[in-house]
Amino acid sequence: MYSNPELVLKGAFLESSICWQSPSNIALIKYWGKYGIQLPQNPSLSITLNNAVTKTKVTYAYSTTGKIETQLVFNDGEAPLFHEKINVFLKSILPIFPFLSQLKMTIESSNTFPHSAGIASSASAMSALALCLCSIENKLFSSLSNASDFFNKASYVARLGSGSASRSVYGGLVLWGKYDEINESSNEFAVPLRENIHPNFATLHDAILIVSDQEKKVSSTKGHSLMHGHPFEKARFEQARANMKVLLSALKDGDIPQFIEVVENEALSLHAMMMTSKESFLLMEPATIHIIDKIRFFRKENKVDICFTLDAGPNIHLIYSEKDKHHVKGFIKNDLLKNGLIKNWIDDCVGDGPKIIKE
């Protein structure tokens, strides 16, 4: 779609740099299962976070070696596996950015959140890198001066790095994947959901409850592949579409009980898929289940609108809105932390999306 053999430099330029800060996101409707080149089997919907961000600075200069040359500094140190991943990714997108083989790049990347905190670092890292690449293209060729073209392409490129990263180039609620009732939606890139959001959902918060900081037991690549031939494959993709319909209507009408029901159903369905795939993964810890019970009990007893979602790991994302902030913080401190159910937690909320950083 974006292959462009014309994006080739005619001569040298002075060394320059660009820096973007891009957030992670947490899916409410989960993407789990893909086909072709990183295309989703079902549409997904997420909230973009505010505090959990990756900052990526790319310094670039003209080079005549004819190959991609990169140096990576990650959290002020080395990260050979991540560096390798970036090089493979850059090579794969050469038809989109042919000028990359005419550059020497130093990529400095750092996260504001700890590794393995249950926050998708690939979403923030790949979206930040995609945004830097689009900015470099625009600086060199003035080809992406229209903001909507710029973010569309950044989302497309981010998707090729990590599917969920396509959603991180926008703030608020973001949808990725073709969904007939949203005209502009596409499997190729994400679109922000700016209309039909009831004020009840304007200030969503995400308290990330850290049950374990162990490495992920299953990579996303492996997880997605296990959906091929899964006994519930067809049913899961249909369920995700049906849940999307219900969630969009709950968001429009301000229907909190419906929102809670769908969000928790999606989290548990994701884990059910992993538990019942040919190679089975049980990613919840005993404390995860204990906390889910407590959240449901707290909701019922105190009539507070909280719910949980999960990523592909044991940590819990506790979703609530501004009005319940004090109640929820009390629950976390006086119950979950006091009783040793969580090690710590990260206080995050819905954010405005990526920002360019002037240095």
Selected from 18, 19, 30, 119, the binder of ligand PMV by CB under 6 A is 30
CB of 123 to ligand PMV, least distance (A): 6
Residues 139-178 that bind ligand PMV (CB under 6 A): 162-164
CA distance linking residue 305 with residue 290, whole number of Å: 19
Structure tokens at 291: 């906390």
- Regarding 42 and contact with ligand PMV (CB under 6 A), the answer is no
- 69 in Cβ contact with 100 (< 8 Å): no
Task: Answer yes or no: are the C-beta atoms of 232 and 33 closer than 8 Å.
Answer: no
> Which residue's CB is nearer to ligand PMV, number 176 or number 331?
176
CB of 191 to ligand PMV, least distance (A): 15
- Selected from 24, 44, 109, 315, the binder of ligand PMV by CB under 6 A is 44
Please say which residue, 41 or 152, places its beta carbon nearer to ligand PMV.
41
- Interaction mask 214-233, ligand PMV, x per CB under 6 A: ------x-------------
Query: Which candidate, 112, 30, 6, 43, places its Cα nearest to that of 348?
Result: 112
Q: What is the DSSP string of 160-179?
A: HH-GGGGGGGSSSEEEES--
Site for ligand PMV in 279-338 (CB under 6 A): 311-312
Q: In this complex, which beta carbon is closest to ligand PMV, that of residue 105 or of residue 349?
A: 349
Nearer to ligand PMV, 102 or 162 (CB): 162
- CA 163 – CA 123 distance, rounded (Å): 8
What is the DSSP pairing of strand 69-74 with strand 103-111?
Answer: parallel
Binding of ligand PMV at residue 19 (CB under 6 A)? no
- Residues in contact with ligand PMV, counted by CB under 6 A, come to a total of 14
Q: Give the separation between CA 199 and CA 321, rounded to whole angstroms.
A: 10
- 185 binds ligand PMV, rule: CB under 6 A: no
Shortest Å distance, C-beta 286 to ligand PMV: 21
Query: Is residue 263 within 8 Å of 247, Cβ to Cβ?
Result: yes
Selected from 20, 31, 113, 308, the binder of ligand PMV by CB under 6 A is: 31
Instruction: At 45, list the tokens.
Output: 């919907």
Which letter does DSSP use for residue 341 in this model?
Answer: S
**Cα–Cα distances in angstroms (integers) from residue 160 to residues 86, 306, 335, in the given order:** 11, 34, 41
Query: Residues 120, 175, 209, 318: which binds ligand PMV (CB under 6 A)?
Result: 120
Is residue 113 a contact residue for ligand PMV (CB under 6 A)?
A: no
122 touches ligand PMV (CB under 6 A): yes
CA distance 265 to 274: 14
Part of the chain binding ligand PMV (CB under 6 A), chosen from 26-34, 148-156, 234-242, 261-269: 26-34
305 and 258 in contact (C-beta within 8 Å)?
no
Binding site for ligand PMV (CB under 6 A): 27, 30-32, 44, 120, 122, 162-164, 220, 270, 311-312
